[in-house]
Structures are given as structure tokens and as C-alpha cells.
Structure 1
Amino acid sequence: MTIDLEPDVAIQAAAEWLVKGRDPTGMAIVPEMKVRFGLTAAQACEAIRTAQRIRNCGGANAIAS
């Protein structure tokens, strides 16, 4: 088993992907993020929260808050 030493990079990538919009695959968002980005369920949820902050606060500055 490998441990991702920079999980925030994958979370950020997943959040940006979600903000840009995704093509409908018929798969629920958390399982899709787990497959596409190698995230755990908790990390996928964090990516969803991050995407929501980006949408609400606008842009990359939302990540720091």
C-alpha cells in the first residue's frame, strides 16, 4: 500500500474538476472521484466542500480560507 504524501494536490484537482463541470457518467460523484483521482471517501467529501467554497467565494483564494 502506498501513502500519498500530498493528498491536498489530488483534493484540489478533484475540486477544480468538479467546479469546471463533469460529463454525466451515471456514477455518483463520490465513487467517481474515488476512481478518477484515487481519493478516499473522506477526501472526496473534502474536495466537494472545496469546490463549493470556490463557487461561493470565487477562485483560488477560496482554498486558503
Structure 2
Amino acid sequence: MTELPADPKVAEAAQWIANGDPRPDVVPEIRRRFELSALQAAQACGLAQKIRVSREAFQ
């Protein structure tokens, strides 16, 4: 199983991304909404993709 990131803000942002529809402005939005750095935003996007894939695998 994938480990959660050390920063809970990254996990929260990833969950927010995974629960929403794909959108082109997601990085600036999560940086603003969750006060993330660019690196944290990238980590959140990667984790969100893993969450989506996991959901698909177990449906």
C-alpha cells in the first residue's frame, strides 16, 4: 500500500482532487486553497492519481 505523505495538507489536497472532476487549473487552485508549495502540489496530484486508480481497481 502507498504511504501517505508526511504533510496532512498534501493528503487533504489529494483527496480534494480525487473527489472532483479533472480541471486544468488544479495546481494553482490547491496551492491557494491548501497553502501548498509547488512541490507539495505536485505530490498531491500524484497521490490523487493513485487514489483514483485504487478506486477503479476496487469497484
Residue identity matched to 1:21 = G
Aligned to 1:52: 49
Map of 1:20-59 to 2, 5 A cutoff? 20-21=19-20, 28-58=25-55
In structure 1, what is the equivalent of residue 16 of structure 2? 17
Q: Deviations over 1:1-33 (max 9, x none)?
A: xxxxxx6200000000011105x7xx7111111
| RMSD between superposed Cα atoms in Å | 1.9
Measure the CA separation in 2 of the matches of 1:57 and 1:20.
13
State the alpha-carbon separation in 1 of the partners of residues 25 and 48 from structure 2. 16
Where has structure 1 moved over 3 Å in runs of 4 or more?
none
Separation (CA, whole Å) in 2 of partners of 1:45 and 1:55: 16
**Paired residues, what number?**
49
TM-score, normalising length: structure 1: 0.66
Q: Deviations over 1:9-58 (max 9, x none)?
A: 00000000011105x7xx71111111000000110010000000011123
Question: Which ranges in structure 1 are unaligned for 5 or more consecutive residues?
Answer: 1-6, 59-65
TM-score, normalisation: structure 2? 0.72
Aligned twin of 1:62: none
Where relative contact order (Cα < 8 A, 6+ residues apart) is larger, the structure is 2
Q: Which amino acid aligns with 1:12?
A: A
